[in-house]
Amino acid sequence: MILVSACLLGQNVKYNGGNNSCELLQVYEGQGHFVPICPEGFAALPIPRPPMEIQQGTGEDLLAGRVRALDRTGRDMTESLRLGAQKALALAQKYHAKTAILKESSPSCGVHRIYDGNFAGRKIPGSGAAAALLREHGLMLYSEKELTPALLAKLMAEDKDSMKNE
Ligand code: SF4
């Protein structure tokens, strides 16, 4: 199975109550390959909620205890990001997922870039906390920004093969 950020599938789970609907993913949603995940929802965060950013570091840094995450009101969200990441990993293991397609730039799901912690719209290289934990456990990660019809077809074919072999 392929883990997919729930907001990319049109679920209204993002901090502002909206979604990041990805048309390509939605075309194939009914074919049984996708497991929607929302690490921030897994951590029981409300919708809507203030935006949060990892403070001058990455998801890897947060998991290692080197940096924390704050929301825009100054509330410490470090443990929520950690909990959401752990629950996302548990679901990946339950479904034997080897791949995840995640929302770029999120402090949980960001694959290649995240916001820098200043709430000023600036990004730095690095992953969100859930993405970092999934990668650490061997999943291949892709963001919606690098997804093409050919790449998605390849990932779904690989998923079909791996299901046959289980
Ligand atoms: Fe989307 Fe991930 Fe944020 Fe949930 S935690 S709203 S799935 S980007």
- State pLDDT tens for residues 106-155: 999 999 999 999 999 999 999 999 999 999 999 999 999 999 999 999 99
* Ramachandran quadrant class, 56 (left: phi over 0; alpha: psi -120 to 50; beta: rest): left
Q: Share the mean pLDDT of the chain.
A: 97
Q: Cβ(13) to ligand 1 under 6 A?
A: yes
- At 142 the pLDDT is 98
| Alpha-carbon gap, residue 2 to 107, rounded angstroms | 20
* Residues near 121 by beta carbon (within 8 Å), at least 6 away in sequence: 115
Q: Cβ(127) to ligand 1 under 6 A?
A: no
Question: Count of CB atoms within 10 A of residue 22's CB?
Answer: 21
- State pLDDT tens for residues 30-61: 999 999 999 999 999 999 999 999 999 999 99
Using most ligand atoms within 8 A of CB, pick from 20, 47, 103 the residue to mutate for ligand 1: 103
- State pLDDT tens for residues 75-116: 999 999 999 999 999 999 999 999 999 999 999 999 999 999
DSSP run (H or E) holding 150: helix 149-164
Q: Cβ(143) to ligand 1 under 6 A?
A: no
Q: Cβ(144) to ligand 1 under 6 A?
A: no
Q: Cβ(101) to ligand 1 under 6 A?
A: no
